[in-house]
A and B are shown apart, each in its own frame.
Chain A
């Protein structure tokens, strides 16, 4: 037992050595400049992964993604980031495979959380994960031809390989993309594809395996003839918080199985990100989880800063910039949780009273965002090595017309009052309004239970994971910014049901207020410091890879960024992957719903707190 306990404490390099001793031929160091981790022979991947999980204690698979190195090394690569739930840095391992028929063994049997992520890599790269129980497209529709994230694939309205486009300047005669590139001309269909039969082709795979058309008599326990029924919840339904569809098999009113269908909002964010330059991507990250854009910015900024810090002429953000970042991110957490709790209650039928009370406070925070960053939702506030601008002296508006309503507050007074009085007062009131409410408890206690083992295995993150009793928070486990010097607790739940998720979110808001109280004096102290080092519009990003992750309000948001090519020329990320918490948390939706009533599905979905902008990307 002692030996095993020791092994789970080993640091990354010792763990790697241990694995290399056991599989000297299958494992090699990733020696490319700026890269880290190990490259594992796909033939041995299963065994190595099992050893990582069971012996070394890397029980949490955070991110799985593909990279196409066409023109650089002519192979595809699958990159895995595994963590320990006890904390610490990632064990990065990669499997390489040829581009023509990319095949890698599936790790779903080792980490079930790899399910959706492997399907995504299959969808967008065409990498076959052998042994995957249900390898279908996930974001795109089944009749789609090609794999869009491959480097040689061109999207509809393709203009040029990289931004900035040459047609914009100096001879920028304006045209609309659809004029030059009429939609339909550059959309390719598979040879045997018949648009008229779209429904049959794309849906048959989905309905297979849902247990339909099976033995009707077997379901019949009391002599009653019953049948299973398939119900599509969504995609257009207010309770799905966006365009999201759940194909539910019902046995009476009980859920027999649930299959989430997504991708209705898919825009291939990652392909856009690879056409963009590094700086261009920042405002695009706002559009992922549009409730909490500030934290999205931060994750990407951290990833690129990791790369930038490898090169010359990089100065890290100043202390004040870090304080401002934490201020914004924690306010965002409150914004997000107010929103999600309000809508959770909405889903339960408490129609809009809790929602509007919560939104009332959210508005106050958004007013501050608007005055500081310039926008309420799409903040675009973080920059590489700093933030956009310091907080203004006054939150002030100027009237343009007679009836314009004008406000004028001192910003620091506004913040102090909000953090010290208004938010705590509101949270107490909200607590009285909801927490002991019997209807809420009836509907949520014991519903949608997720056991801690399952929560970890399914790679869930954020409040969903913590409500199951796993004290895993990136701010603690793998700290960034100035979190190490701040005093806060990680609230966890006991039972892993919806009620616990509700309580965890509530408690997290209180902890955020506690963090904000520590930030305000720091802001006073650092008054006048620069908040942004001079960043060129084309930052020179050294070659390499980086995985920046932050604890977003919805869970762990990770950005896997690869920089290739000449740092002196115009540069674009070779790979830009978003590990979206809402997307991966949905892996747990099916298992959580089975056995509950159809009315609970809506609540369970609401308790995961998804945003479709991030899920579908």
Chain B
């Protein structure tokens, strides 16, 4: 019969309308509370619709979400190297950057003029950055990571959109907080929560100490 298709389609629409109310009734009074409610209402079992009231509410982004890189520095309450850069200014991130938005001035020892493993300056032009994540993927020192903060609009792009080292630097604990699983995996690959170079030096010192102990025990015996 002509018109049947439309009628059937309208039934589907009616069902959708009903569902959206059903869900609100099912979760009555628990919209803003209750562990896991949001996940259930946006998950595979969800039937109705649920509107997130941005910017009052936000959907937390998953761990691997990537937006504008940041530089990892040692925590400010670190006993030995508070606030020390993880970056060694090796320049790999600047080379793999597809739109070439990373600028690095390699650190130099003012006396000898020889390069030292830390950047003198580090800039990222966030207007140009395409959030591909290559810098963090290829960084051999886990020193540059992708951030979760996506609200970067400003009134003046010419002054506010070139991030310098100070603005880019964030503590290691920030990375542990926003990406716990990835941070843990990286720690396991490095062999400790410290910087790769520090770990290597520590291992070296330990070996030396072990040798010293060995020779000392030999002498004493």
Are B133 and A374 within 8 A (Cβ)?
yes
Contact with A along B122-159 (1 / 0, CB 8 A): 01010000111110011000000010100000000010
Our pick among A173, A276, A283, A409 for the contact of B105 (Cβ within 8 Å) is A173
Contacts of B39 in A (CB 8 A): 406-409
Chain B, 99-139, CB within 8 A of any chain A CB: 100, 102-106, 115, 121, 123, 125, 130-134, 137-138
Are B58 and A169 within 8 A (Cβ)?
no
Contacts of A164 in B (CB 8 A): 94-97, 100
Our pick among A171, A276, A360 for the contact of B49 (Cβ within 8 Å) is A360
> Closest Cβ of chain A: how far from B91's Cβ, in Å?
4
Are B52 and A433 within 8 A (Cβ)?
no
- Tell me the count of chain B residues lying within 8 A, CB to CB, of chain A: 64
Contacts of B132 in A (CB 8 A): 282-283, 378, 380
Please choose the segment from A130-138, A414-422, A575-583 that sits at the chain B interface, where 4 or more of its residues have CB less than 8 A away: A414-422
Our pick among B3, B95, B123 for the contact of A174 (Cβ within 8 Å) is B123
Given contacts A375-B65, A400-B60, A417-B44, A407 and B38 within 8 Å (CB-CB): yes
Most chain A CB atoms below 10 A, which of B56, B103, B146: B103
Contact with A along B74-89 (1 / 0, CB 8 A): 0000000000000001
How many angstroms between the C-alpha atoms of A159 and B43 in the bound complex? 48
Are A398 and B105 within 8 A (Cβ)?
no
Q: Is B59 an interface residue (CB 8 A)?
A: yes
Our pick among B5, B62, B97, B100 for the contact of A370 (Cβ within 8 Å) is B62
Are A439 and B60 within 8 A (Cβ)?
no
Most chain B CB atoms below 10 A, which of A168, A389, A400, A418: A168
Chain A, 193-215, CB within 8 A of any chain B CB: none
Contacts of B5 in A (CB 8 A): 435-438, 440-441
Q: Is A484 an interface residue (CB 8 A)?
A: no
Contacts of A404 in B (CB 8 A): 57-60
Q: Is the interface of B mostly helix, strand, loop or mixed?
A: mixed
Given contacts A374-B133, A537-B92, A172 and B105 within 8 Å (CB-CB): yes
Residue of A nearest to B102 (CB): A168
Q: Is A279 an interface residue (CB 8 A)?
A: yes
How many angstroms between the C-alpha atoms of A360 and B115 in the bound complex? 54
Are B62 and A395 within 8 A (Cβ)?
yes
Our pick among A360, A399, A429 for the contact of B12 (Cβ within 8 Å) is A429
Contacts of A434 in B (CB 8 A): 9
Residue of B nearest to A354 (CB): B9
> Closest Cβ of chain B: how far from A116's Cβ, in Å?
28
How many angstroms between the C-alpha atoms of A372 and B39 in the bound complex? 17
Are A407 and B42 within 8 A (Cβ)?
yes
Our pick among B2, B36, B66, B104 for the contact of A374 (Cβ within 8 Å) is B66
A-B contacts, 12 of them at CB < 8 A, read A170-B104, A170-B106, A172-B103, A174-B162, A280-B96, A353-B13, A378-B132, A392-B64, A407-B43, A433-B13, A434-B9, A537-B92
B contact residues vs A (CB 8 Å cutoff): 2-6, 8-9, 11-13, 16, 36, 38-39, 42-45, 49, 52, 56-66, 89, 91-92, 94-98, 100, 102-106, 115, 121, 123, 125, 130-134, 137-138, 146, 148, 158, 162, 177-178, 180-181
**Additional pairs, 5, CB under 8 Å, beyond known A398-B63, A408-B39:** A172-B103, A283-B130, A374-B65, A392-B63, A537-B134
